[in-house]
Structure 1
Amino acid sequence: MAVYVYAITPADHPLRLDGVTGVGEPAERLRVVTEGDLAAVVSDAPEGLRAKRRDVLAHQTVLQELLGQAGVLPLRFGALAPDDDAVTDALRERAANYRDRLRALDGCAEFHLKASCPEDLLLAAVLRESDDARRMNEEIRSGHGGQDLKISLGELVAAEVTARRTALGAAVVEALRPLAREVRESEAVGDDFVSASFLVERTRQNAFLEREAELVGEYGEDFDFRLHGPLPPYSFV
């Protein structure tokens, strides 16, 4: 039978999972596959598994329980292996890599931050602070600018808005970077100017949260900061 894999841990992890069940309905019983100094928390994989709310929550609950006890390499929802022997083989063949990542993640959790601001705010700033953009816009508004000038203004404003988004994102990440062990950035979409994951040691989490709250106040109500965490460190596995 196929095996559902939740996480990889050190073999000496406490693995206290009494009362915690896995995916599936009825919920599958959790068990541990051990190879050397590594272990994997698994269950039988139910047929036709889909990312239903009940199963996603069950996966997250297992990981949160493990993370609260000791270091863990969390696997994303839906990780399957053919059987327990395949899990054992993977633990043995990739042991060095798993040990390295467990050391890197030990005592840490992930915080994921997204932040956005309305594009109108950036457009207004460009027209207010760029002499070229302001001049071109005034010419167009007065009826003296043709289609070429409109295109040039559009290109200038788009480039300036992109540059400002990039600068905003870099400033936020750099303000929080000293409080994180590692940072992983992903592409910001829509009105977002930053999308980043921070690997934060438990002993520094309060300081990280306080600094993020300071940034919210510094940037003001026109900016929308969305911070999620502490989370299992998916982005750093």
Structure 2
Amino acid sequence: MPLYVYSIAAKDHPHRLDGVSGVGSDPSPLRTVTAGPLCAVVSDIAEEIRPKRRDLNVHQQVQELLMADGVILPLQFGYIATDDDAVRQALESNAENYLGALGRLDGCAEYHVRASQADEAPLLQQILQDLPEASDLNERIRGGDRDPSLPLVLGEMVAREVQVRQEALAAGLTEALVPFSREYLAHPPSRTDFLNLSLLVHDEHKEALRTAEVDLAREIGNDVDLRFSGPLPPYSFVQ
């Protein structure tokens, strides 16, 4: 029977699974498949699993339940194995890598840091003050100059400067936060965010990270929306 695989852990992980059911419209109890020093947490499935809200929530809840008791290698949503033997084979053939990753992630959690421009007006005003050429174009437009190219030129100039300043701020935030992490990954910004950063943080540094979060938020002010989330299962750092 096909299996949905949630995570990989050491065989001696407590994996308290009694009464816990998995994904799917007819959820099966969670159980483990063991091979040597490793085990995988799985549940039987009889259907294709799609990323519906309930199943996404169940997947995340299982990871958090397991993470509370010890280090795990959380798999991304949607990992399916054909049967128990396929899981055992994967555990056996990759045992060295999995054990190494468990050691590397032990005591750590993932934290996400995102930043976006909460209010663009002060930034745009500052750019007009700092760039004489932008200020001149703006004054010409406000003064009634009907040259149709002026708004386009001004818009492109301001957009470039916004990008430069946001990239500089993102680099500064990253530089300030990386010392609290063992590893980090800078993801491509999405939507309105100009910073999308994942940090692998050991428990001994999590309070210092939180303090840095408060200090940075105070330093950059209300015009930037700085958002932290975590501790989370270390999806970004499972290799």
Q: With the length of structure 2 as denominator, give the TM-score of the two structures.
A: 0.90
Deviations 1:91-120 (A, max 9, x none): 122223222322221111111121211333
Question: Is the contact between residue 8 and residue 73 of structure 1 (CA under 8 Å) also seen in structure 2?
Answer: yes
The residue that corresponds to 1:171 in the other structure is 172
Q: Tell me, what secondary structure is at the counterpart of 2:217?
A: helix
Amino acid at match of 1:27: P
Deviations 1:8-52 (A, max 9, x none): 112222222233222234431112112222211111023132223
- In structure 2, how many angstroms separate the alpha carbons of the residues matched to 1:52 and 1:34? 29
Point out the more displaced range, 139-148 or 95-104.
139-148
The residue that corresponds to 1:95 in the other structure is 95
Structure 1 runs (4+) deviating above 4 angstroms are none
The residue that corresponds to 2:86 in the other structure is 86
Identity value in percent? 48
Question: Is the contact between residue 119 and residue 191 of structure 1 (CA under 8 Å) also seen in structure 2?
Answer: no
- In structure 2, how many angstroms separate the alpha carbons of the residues matched to 1:150 and 1:49? 50
The residue that corresponds to 1:114 in the other structure is 114
Q: Tell me, what secondary structure is at the counterpart of 1:113?
A: strand
- In structure 2, how many angstroms separate the alpha carbons of the residues matched to 1:154 and 1:45? 54
Output aligned runs, 1:1-237, within 5 Å.
1-117=1-117, 118-144=119-145, 146-237=147-238
- In structure 1, how many angstroms separate the alpha carbons of the residues matched to 2:90 and 2:172? 40
- TM-superposed CA distance for 1:204, in Å, is 1.3
Question: Is the contact between residue 21 and residue 62 of structure 1 (CA under 8 Å) also seen in structure 2?
Answer: no
- In structure 2, how many angstroms separate the alpha carbons of the residues matched to 1:31 and 1:234? 21
- In structure 1, how many angstroms separate the alpha carbons of the residues matched to 2:222 and 2:34? 51
Amino acid at match of 2:33: V
Question: Is the contact between residue 19 and residue 29 of structure 2 (CA under 8 Å) also seen in structure 1?
Answer: no
How big is the alpha-carbon RMSD for the aligned residues of Structure 1 and Structure 2? Answer: 1.9
- TM-superposed CA distance for 1:143, in Å, is 4.0
Count of aligned pairs:
237
Point out the more displaced range, 108-117 or 51-60.
51-60
- In structure 1, how many angstroms separate the alpha carbons of the residues matched to 2:145 and 2:217? 42
Point out the more displaced range, 14-23 or 191-200.
14-23
Q: With the length of structure 1 as denominator, give the TM-score of the two structures.
A: 0.91
- In structure 1, how many angstroms separate the alpha carbons of the residues matched to 2:94 and 2:140? 65
- In structure 2, how many angstroms separate the alpha carbons of the residues matched to 1:141 and 1:24? 60
Q: Tell me, what secondary structure is at the counterpart of 1:14?
A: coil
Unaligned residue ranges in structure 1 (runs of 5+): none
- In structure 1, how many angstroms separate the alpha carbons of the residues matched to 2:124 and 2:114? 21
Q: Tell me, what secondary structure is at the counterpart of 1:205?
A: helix
Amino acid at match of 2:209: F
Amino acid at match of 1:6: Y
Q: Tell me, what secondary structure is at the counterpart of 2:109?
A: strand
Question: Is the contact between residue 116 and residue 192 of structure 1 (CA under 8 Å) also seen in structure 2?
Answer: yes
Unaligned residue ranges in structure 2 (runs of 5+): none
Q: Tell me, what secondary structure is at the counterpart of 2:228?
A: strand
Question: Is the contact between residue 59 and residue 77 of structure 1 (CA under 8 Å) also seen in structure 2?
Answer: yes
- In structure 1, how many angstroms separate the alpha carbons of the residues matched to 2:145 and 2:77? 59
Point out the more displaced range, 206-215 or 128-137.
128-137
**Cα 1:104–1:121 shift into 2, 3 Å:** farther
Point out the more displaced range, 180-189 or 147-156.
147-156
